[in-house]
Structure 1
């Protein structure tokens, strides 16, 4: 079992821990191998990295899309009405999910957020655009609503007024078995300067989180004969 553990404190006395189970999905590499598209994908990704402007010297690291662990979140209210499978990304700080009006090929098989179904949705009015290191990208509008690590009010860490991206256009996510991405990094690298959910939990809930940290526990996976 893989578990994301978020340490919090309630009423400054009783310590509590929220756990979000991580789910292992079939890797993008395996899917592309099955379709005979892996070599093309790898050439495209390495070309993008080779031509991307470099601001610092360093050793190139190759990512072969070998595996991915994902988790469930909920956006909007009531909590649990609209749920999504996401990558928990420590290398980025933005939350985004495809919106209902996204009809590109990359969006069609994904769960999409419908703002009209949420009782607490607020328009932001700004646009956003993200380009990731592997060449994938996402673009759309910003909105604000309840965010929950999990899919039920009872067992989830719920944070109000989270600004998140509603993607109207995606590139490079067609074969990725997730709906979107939840960034766990710091506000300083967030596109549009939005506040990531964990940081917002500290700021909004009167320091309900005892420490500004989270941990990931990975159990040993043994192949059974």
Structure 2
């Protein structure tokens, strides 16, 4: 009699567990279907040309993302910012700016993208950017980019950014050995942001506004490589 009761108890317990798991799965699926669950794993192709909103404020339109062989390093997308938003929330208006993927909450019923943070958070992140050719780039969008002078000579690769007076003023470039030997420079140098003329998005490159030889004589280059001027 005791054995029969134990078997019945185990059977009933298993039944209860199965029902509980199924119930949880059903509830989870229901929540996802209702769009109340954030999803940070959207592919860029799902988001291209979608409007981006913070509550009822249209921020802009998603137009792409950085071309990088390692997708794990691509943490931001590119958006074309609404003129009114750029005027109000940027130090100096820019048409194109980064949108960090972690800020994406969900796709709304009307197809637009809902962000999880406020406009003030966007403003804070846009202040922590690099401006090149009147476009804003997040620090992660600058890492690993090749740097070329305006004659097409590759100088090296960006490894980090440096701040002078609490603002990004230069990029740290790991220089090519051939360039080190030719110009007598160190393995790493700081190149001022003002010397960067444009980016080549498809090739993931940054191009200087002048030759490397002329860059080395600029006062801004000398300042960017002065240890006393760099803010840790």
| TM-score (normalizing by structure 2) | 0.24
Larger Rg: 2
Of Structure 1 and Structure 2, the greater strand share is in: 1
Structure number with the bigger relative contact order (C-alpha 8 A, sep ≥ 6) is 1
Higher percent of residues as helix: 2
TM value normalised by structure 1: 0.24
